[in-house]
Amino acid sequence: MRRIISFFAVVAAAGIFAAAAHADDVTHWNRIMFELAKVAGTSPLVMTRVTAIVHGSMYDALNGIERRYTPLHVAPAADPGASRRAAVVQAAYASLSKIYPTQQSTLDQKLAESLAGIANTEAVENSRSIARGIEWGQAVADAIWAWRLTDGFTAVLPSFTGPANPGPGQWRPTPPGNLPMAGRQFVDMTPWVITSPSQFLAPGPPALSSAQYTADFNETRLKGRDTSPSRTQDETFYSLFWNSATASYLWDTAAVSLSEERQTTLSENSRLFALLNVAMADAAIGCWKSKFIYNFWRPITAITLASTDGNPGTIEDPTWNPLLVTPNHQDYTSGHSCVSGAAGAVLSNFFGEQSSFVVTSDGMAGARYFPSFTAATEEVKNARVFAGIHFRAACNDGQALGVSTANYALGHAFLRINGNGRGQLSQ
């Protein structure tokens, strides 16, 4: 405790103040998290785990002081009078220090600015209160980190390239890299809230002889080709746009914009972003379980080898290439659709389905405006098909998996201690 107080005293005495008071430490550290992730080049799949760790830590840190909701992992045990904001800031800082240790100097600067801002914008936050908040935030972050160290993320598994002699419909590495399946450890990773990776397992891709597969095949072959004349300029733009950043960034920044517009509180944002990111993380785990179990081939394989599928309605085209480079994992289910389905369900629950919002990217200029969450998630599905990297069933069933995962999280986690935790923020 003495060491924490001394650290804060040095920071304050040095006059390291934030350029402007940050009204909400949850959304401020959310932005810092994505800045660090962009520098590190964190993949979209791994990003779901990163955001869940950071926001889960911030949530349990604040909830350990306010004690309004059921905890994610750490039972409330903060000392009386602990600073809510300091606990949130330290929890984020400590988590990110473990995830991005090579960016420690940047994190130290951001921490100093946040703590100095707390002391100089809120008179009620005295040094002892801040010190207690720091101590509690650190304890929570350490506990969350220790928990997730055993989730299977660091498991060393043999590479998976599909069956030795893949038949029609079976995934195998795709060009140009012909790489093994990415994210193999997510297949059996310990979930955050759902009971198992297979709890909401997708029903499976359509049979190669079915009318649905024939329709899906021809839609992707026509609209998803790199030089497709039937894909509009806007369809090409949004196919590239939704692929230009991680799904976590796209949905979190939309949530930040809405929270600022609605002037949500620190407590509300803590719960909102924990729900959002844990639901997306669990949707990704469920998605990878479905990918591994069904092991369904990608369009670039299906279209160039269509003569082997036994379906007279699918025509082989050995020169076909997709708009986007095919990711090195299976078609069914679509990862982006799974994660976006979960995000749309959580945000719709909090803000209302007919909320209008804008999505921006940190990897591409431009923005997308939507009059509802359904409109956005439908565009995500189209973007994956029109990019030539998925069939429609993978997107439809992936979105359904994400929605089911989010609804389970909304009904079983982060619940109000005195009453049902579901409902919009205005309730």
- Domain stops at, among 148, 165, 199: 148
The phi, psi pair for 106, rounded to 5°, reads: -65, -45
Instruction: Report residue 83 as tokens.
Output: 């600073």
Residue 179, Ramachandran bin (φ over 0: left; ψ between -120 and 50: alpha; else beta):
beta
> How many angstroms separate the CA atoms of 285 and 189, rounded?
7
Q: Which string of DSSP letters, residue by residue, matches 85-114?
A: HHHHHHHHHHHHHHH-GGGHHHHHHHHHHH
Residue type, 86: A
Q: Are 221 and 317 in contact (CB under 8 A)?
A: yes
- pLDDT string in tens for the chain (427-residue length): 334 434 444 344 333 333 333 359 999 999 999 999 999 999 999 999 999 999 999 999 999 999 999 999 999 999 999 999 999 999 999 999 999 999 999 999 999 999 999 987 655 568 899 999 999 999 999 999 999 999 999 999 999 999 999 999 999 999 999 999 999 999 999 999 999 999 999 999 999 999 999 999 999 999 999 999 999 999 999 999 999 999 999 999 999 999 999 999 999 999 999 999 999 999 999 999 999 999 999 999 999 999 999 999 999 999 999 999 999 999 999 999 999 999 999 999 999 999 999 999 999 999 999 999 999 999 999 999 999 999 999 999 999 999 999 999 999 999 999 765 444 443 3
Domain shared by 261 and 319, yes or no? yes
DSSP state of 282: H
Q: Do the domain assignments include residue 173?
A: no
Q: Are residues 106 and 237 in the same domain?
A: no
Helical H segments across 263-372, by residue range: 266-294, 299-304, 335-351
CA angle 87/93/99 to nearest 5° reads 135
Number of Cα atoms under 13 Å in the Cβ half of residue 136: 30
Judgement on whether residues 359 and 257 belong to the same structural domain of the protein: yes
CA distance linking residue 173 with residue 328, whole number of Å: 7
Q: Are residues 234 and 132 in the same domain?
A: no
Residue 369's DSSP bridge partners are 358
14: Cβ–Cβ under 8 A, 6 or more apart, which residues? 112
CATH assignment of the domain containing 227: 1.10.606.20
Which two tokens mark 281?
């993380």
Q: Looking at the domain assignment, is residue 105 inside a domain?
A: yes
Same domain, 237 and 368: yes
Q: Is 273 helix (H, G, I), strand (E, B) or coil?
A: helix
Determine contact, residues 153/183, Cβ cutoff 8 Å. Answer: no
Q: Are residues 226 and 356 in the same domain?
A: yes
Domain identity same for 265 and 392: yes
Q: Is residue 175 part of a domain?
A: no
Residue 313 lies in a domain: yes
Residues 143 and 291 in one domain: no
Q: CA 240 to CA 60: how far, in whole Å?
A: 36
Cα dihedral: 92, 96, 98, 104 (round 10): -120
Q: List Cβ neighbours of 145 (8 Å cut-off, separation of 6 or more).
A: 53, 57, 94, 95, 98
Residue 162 domain flag: no
In sequence order, what are the beta bridge partners of 370?
Answer: 357
**Cα–Cα distance measured from residue 266 to residue 286, given in angstroms and rounded to the nearest whole number:** 30
Please state, in angstroms and rounded to a whole number, the distance separating the CA atoms of residues 157 and 181: 11
Look at residue 421 in the predicted model and tell me its pLDDT.
47
Q: Quick one: angle between helices 247-262 and 25-40, nearest 10?
A: 160
pLDDT in the model for residue 266: 96
pLDDT at site 328: 98
Write the CB contacts of 331 (distance below 8 Å, at least 6 apart in sequence): 171, 205, 296, 297, 298, 299, 389, 390, 391, 394
Give the number of domains in the chain. 2
pLDDT of amino acid 122: 53
Which tokens go with 2?
């003495």
Beta bridge partners of 358: 369
pLDDT of residue 119: 83
Question: Do 100 and 191 share a domain, yes or no?
Answer: no
Residues near 234 by beta carbon (within 8 Å), at least 6 away in sequence: none
Q: Tell which of 148, 173, 207 closes a domain.
A: 148
**Are the C-beta atoms of residues 258 and 355 closer than 8 Å to each other?**
yes
Q: In what helix (H) or strand (E) does residue 358 lie, and over which residues does it extend?
A: strand 357-360
In a shared domain, residues 243 and 361: yes
CB distance 376 to 337 below 8 Å: no
pLDDT at 369: 98
What is the chain's length? Answer: 427
Task: Report the distance separating Cα 415 and Cα 227, nearest Å.
Answer: 49
> What pTM was estimated for this model as a whole?
0.93
Same domain, 55 and 105: yes
Same domain as 188, residue 113: no
CATH at 21: 1.20.144
Residue 157 lies in a domain: no
Q: List the domain range (segments joined by +) for residue 331.
A: 184-412
Residue ending a domain, choose from 91, 124, 148 = 148
Q: Report yes or no on 424 lying in a domain.
A: no
Task: With respect to residue 247, please indicate whether it lies within any of the assigned structural domains.
Answer: yes
